[in-house]
Each structure stands twice: as C-alpha cells, then as structure tokens.
Structure 1
Amino acid sequence: MTQHFWVVGTDTDVGKTIITTYFMRYLQAQGKNVLPYKPVQTGIIRDTSRSYYGDTNFYQSFTEKEFVTEHLNSYSFPEPASPHYAARLVGTTIQQNVILEKIQQLTSLYDHVICEGAGGLFVPLDSERNVQLIDLIQESQLPVVLVARTTVGTINHTLLSIEALTSRKIPIAGLVLNAFEGSETEKDNIQTIQELTKLPILVFPRLTTVAELKEVRVENKEFFERLLPT
C-alpha cells in the first residue's frame, strides 16, 4: 500500500526538514521510491560560490538517489518570511490549486511523497490571508506527522496544534518530539503529551552535527505501523 503524508510543525524551526529527511532515508533504506516535496520554501542562502534554498538542498545532500529537481518544490521566494509576504515581495501569489495538482501528480509517480509544511499550521499562503497551510493540508486529504519541541512550552503548542487538526478531521499519524537531550523536564513533557493525546510518539535526539543524520536510528513499531500501514 502506498502512503503519502505531511510533516508539519507546531512552529517554525522545530526540525521539520530534519525529520522529513530522516523519513526519506528510512524509506529509501527499504528500497522505496520516495520524494520529499516542499511546496513553498522561503529564504535563499548565498555563499561565495552559489545560491540555494536550505530545505531542498538538505534533501539532496542526504538522499541515496538523485531527484528530479522540479519535483522537489513548487514555490521558492528569496525573503526568509511567511510565505504570503515573501510571495508578495516578488509580486506573485501562491495558488493552492497549483500545489494540490502537483501533489496529485507526484503521488502517482512515487511510492511515498512526504510533503513538508512551512512554519506552523496557520501560516497564510496568499496575500489576502484567505488560505492557510492547514487549509491546504485538509484539501490534500493526506495524514499528518506533527513535529514539536521537547522543551518548555511544547505541551501547549502541541495540544493546540492537535486540536486544530482534529477539528478539521485531518488524520494524525503520530508525533515526533524533536531535539531530545534527556532532561527530566523533557521526559515529563513527553509523558504528559503521550497521556493526553494517546498518539504514537517518536522521540528524536538532538543532533550535534547534521552529519549524524546518516547514522541515527529511531524506532517505534507502533509509530511506523500507523504511519506506513502494510
């Protein structure tokens, strides 16, 4: 059975790209034809030799198989800002139907398409602020993996995001609590979220270098069975 899903966050910089890339590698190791897809990315990076976008460049740095570049992304904007504002700065707007059609195309070509969100669930996509990321997710009819922090504040942010998703009847495959360092506060946060949500949780360690992503192994049978049913 093919399975396609979103990786979304409780906020920006919670580690969505790292987790998306981890799932990409996990599935590639099983011989699956998998694509990480970032519908909207903002914030171009310029160094002495080239310019690139961090998220799709990260995928390409860790993949075991070369991607069709055009499949990785639909909209890219130079300004590191909310998608609606970054698009406005270059005189364009993000079209929801363009992304939905792209998802439909890609899910017919790959065993697994992992759609990575931008920011949090209520980030606006269009200049009029009529369409938010959660609207796009709902229209796509794909389940969600929610990425959250392990530190103070995560209980509130995680529960609010879960409430928003469930109110839209968007299936939640599981939670990833990212950048775990092992403190007692973090352990209690994880236990509390587990008891309150009853969702499978994957606890992902804090990486000291991104290179560690090639070696890290995080297992939770219940989590992966729910995310990738056979």
Structure 2
Amino acid sequence: MSRYFVVTGTDTGIGKTVFSAALAGALDGYYWKPVQSGLDEETDSETVRRLSGLSAERIFPEAWRLQTPVSPHLSAEIDGVAIDPDALRLPETDGPLVVEGAGGLLVPLTRQGTYIDVFARWGQPVILCARTGLGTINHTLLSVEALRQRRIPIVGIAFIGEERSDTQTIIAEMSGVPVLGRLPVLDVLTPESLRRAFTDHFDLSLLQEGVAA
C-alpha cells in the first residue's frame, strides 16, 4: 500500500474533508491539510480530528493558515503573505498519510501556480472525490484528464452523495478509473456513523491494487 494518498475533488464543498477523515481513520494513519483558507469556523484539520478518531499528534499543522474563506491565492494576498508552493514538502511518517487539497485541482495557490502543479511535483497517488449530483460527469472526466496529462497516478474515484448508478457507471466506463466506493449522505454525522458507512461502502484492499494509468 502506498505511504501517501492525496485527496482532491472535482469542486469545493463536496465532502472530501469528511471522506479524508474516514480514510485517515480507517488507515490508522496521519492527516495533513497544507493550506487552510478560512478560520472563522471549524477548520478541515479540526473536522478530521473530530471525526477520524486520530490523536492530535496524527494531524500535521497546516503550512499556511489564512483568514478569508476564498481561493488560497486571494486569501494569502488579503492576509499580506505569500504562499511558496515549492516549500510544500510531504511530511515523513511511520504510517499512511492522507493529504487533502483545497477545492478542485486547478485552484490557484498563487497567481502563477495551482494545486495540481504541486501534486505533479509530488508524484503521489491521488484519490478523486466526486459528488453524485448533476454536472459531475463533466467535472469528473475533466479532472481525470487533467491528472493524466500531468502523469499523476490515480488510485480511483470516491463518490459522495446519494446513489446515482448510471452516473457512477458511465464515469467509470469513460474514464477507465476504478471506483473505490460511495460515501452516502449521513443524517447524523459522528465518528461512529462515519466509520460504519466507510466500512460498509469502501474496500481498503482496492488501495493495494495499483493505480489507473
């Protein structure tokens, strides 16, 4: 099994932080959110800490914590700081590390570079989170194409939302990317309900079967 799993999404607000919490907990691993935009509400690291069951020591601190909940490049400018994408280096761990990006692949970190540029430099396997609602076919296939153009290995797609069998099937058929499972909408979101849903809908052995070309 890979030591690193980079979790990204087809869009913002689709549930990849909740998925990251479930994955990091199931792997008994570590979690890192390199750049956090927006500090007024619970941060993604705090959400993962609350839902994953991991100890605080398993949650790496963000490299940049930015006040305004907008794209990182703009949030950094508002805060009067400069993000240096080249300074983002994967932490060394003694177990699996789940790294969560912000929004989609082409979210800018600076006015010259995006998250996918950092992912390409890392060269680590990516899990693409995709919602199951209207528009996801286009967004997901475009994201897969962008990853392949940069030769970034793809572990698979994790769907989030209500069951949409045809949507999920056509994305798998047209992309050729394995479907890892689907995380349903949980009426009550607790560490226990999330752990149970992940166990019921995902097979960790799929993470050991290589990545899609």
TM-score higher than 0.5: yes
Is 1:213 the equivalent of 2:191? no
Letter in 2 for 1:199: V
The residue number in structure 2 matching 1:199 is 177
Q: In the superposition, relative to structure 1, how do residues 36 and 156 fare at CA in structure 2: closer, same or farther (>3 Å)?
A: same
Q: In the superposition, relative to structure 1, how do residues 226 and 72 fare at CA in structure 2: closer, same or farther (>3 Å)?
A: farther
The residue number in structure 2 matching 1:96 is 85
Q: Per the alignment, in what secondary structure is the counterpart of residue 7 of structure 2?
A: strand
The Cα RMSD (Å) is: 1.9
- For structure 1, which runs of at least 5 residues remain unmatched after alignment? 29-33, 47-52
Structure 2: distance between partners of 1:204 and 1:57? 20
Preserved contact between residue 200 and residue 222 of structure 1 (Cα < 8 Å): no
Preserved contact between residue 174 and residue 226 of structure 1 (Cα < 8 Å): no
Structure 1: distance between partners of 2:22 and 2:187? 15
The residue number in structure 2 matching 1:226 is 209
Q: Per the alignment, in what secondary structure is the counterpart of residue 47 of structure 2?
A: helix
Preserved contact between residue 178 and residue 203 of structure 1 (Cα < 8 Å): yes
Preserved contact between residue 2 and residue 111 of structure 1 (Cα < 8 Å): no
Structure 2: distance between partners of 1:2 and 1:10? 22
The residue number in structure 1 matching 2:21 is 21
Once the two structures are TM-superposed, the CA of residue 168 in structure 1 deviates from its matched residue by 0.3
Q: Per the alignment, in what secondary structure is the counterpart of residue 93 of structure 1?
A: coil
The residue number in structure 2 matching 1:50 is none
The residue number in structure 2 matching 1:119 is 103
Once the two structures are TM-superposed, the CA of residue 143 in structure 1 deviates from its matched residue by 1.0
Q: Per the alignment, in what secondary structure is the counterpart of residue 23 of structure 2?
A: helix
TM-score if structure 1 supplies the norm length?
A: 0.83
Q: In the TM superposition, what are the counterparts of 1:33-182 in structure 2 within 5 Å?
A: 34-45=29-40, 53-68=42-57, 71-100=60-89, 103=90, 106=91, 108-126=92-110, 129-179=111-161, 181-182=162-163
Count of residue pairs brought into register by the alignment: 206
Structure 1: distance between partners of 2:107 and 2:202? 31
Q: Per the alignment, in what secondary structure is the counterpart of residue 68 of structure 2?
A: coil
The residue number in structure 1 matching 2:166 is 188
Once the two structures are TM-superposed, the CA of residue 109 in structure 1 deviates from its matched residue by 2.3
Preserved contact between residue 35 and residue 110 of structure 1 (Cα < 8 Å): no
**1:164-194 alpha-carbon deviations (Å, 9 max, x no partner):** 0000000000000101x23xxx211001111
Structure ID, larger Rg: 1
Structure 2: distance between partners of 1:57 and 1:196? 36
Structure 1: distance between partners of 2:204 and 2:59? 34
**1:128-166 alpha-carbon deviations (Å, 9 max, x no partner):** x11100001001111100001111111000000000000
Structure 1: distance between partners of 2:147 and 2:95? 25
Structure 2: distance between partners of 1:88 and 1:165? 27
Structure 2: distance between partners of 1:70 and 1:199? 29
Q: In the superposition, relative to structure 1, how do residues 69 and 194 fare at CA in structure 2: closer, same or farther (>3 Å)?
A: closer
Runs of at least 4 residues off by over 3 Å: none
Preserved contact between residue 83 and residue 125 of structure 1 (Cα < 8 Å): yes
Once the two structures are TM-superposed, the CA of residue 67 in structure 1 deviates from its matched residue by 2.5
Once the two structures are TM-superposed, the CA of residue 2 in structure 1 deviates from its matched residue by 4.8
Letter in 1 for 2:206: F
